[in-house]
Structure 1
């Protein structure tokens, strides 16, 4: 028995298999045989399709942004504060030799 090499499937093929699984016209075993993939892989791709289906229609306007807005004034104030501390410490400690 020859060992099969690992295969990488293109996204279009995965979508085709997942859509066939979502339709439910055939069992997972029949689909796996038809597309020559393992039934667990068919189940995984179907789950990924169902999870990502909402993203097809765009982002939800009620969701929070992925990253919080950066407050530039606060960052500039912090930079100024740290600069003062560095200047004070370099003067208080004297030149290092």
Structure 2
């Protein structure tokens, strides 16, 4: 019978990575304490160190990125809706249905 894989929460990974960053214990000691493989400890430590600068990134920079993303989504939606309106107006003209609200 296979042993089921353990799934670790983000909080658990952060706690282990923080212990590793502190450097008070060796990777093997930390791994034994938390009952995980030493490679996982070093991987989580490396991942945490890579993502720490993002934590201190200014809020304005994050907002600007979000705003740009929202703008792109809105522009694509406007384009899609414009094409749909043009298509429907064309079909209305072909069928002889009067179109209200836009001058064409």
TM-score greater than 0.5 by the shorter chain: yes
Matched, 1:11 2:13: no
Between 1 and 2, higher relative CO (CA 8 Å, sep ≥ 6) is seen in: 1
CA RMSD of aligned residues (A): 3.2
- Matched residues, number: 90
Alignment partners' CA distance in 2, 1:84 and 1:55: 48
Q: Structure 2: which 5+ runs fail to align?
A: 96-104
Name which of 62, 67, 70 aligns with 2:69.
Answer: 67
Aligned partner of 2:21 in structure 1 is 22
TM-score normalised per structure 2? 0.59
Alignment partners' CA distance in 1, 2:45 and 2:79: 46
TM-score normalised per structure 1? 0.62
Change (3 A) 1:52 1:86: farther
Q: Structure 1: which 5+ runs fail to align?
A: 92-97
Q: Specify which structure has the higher proportion of helix.
A: 2
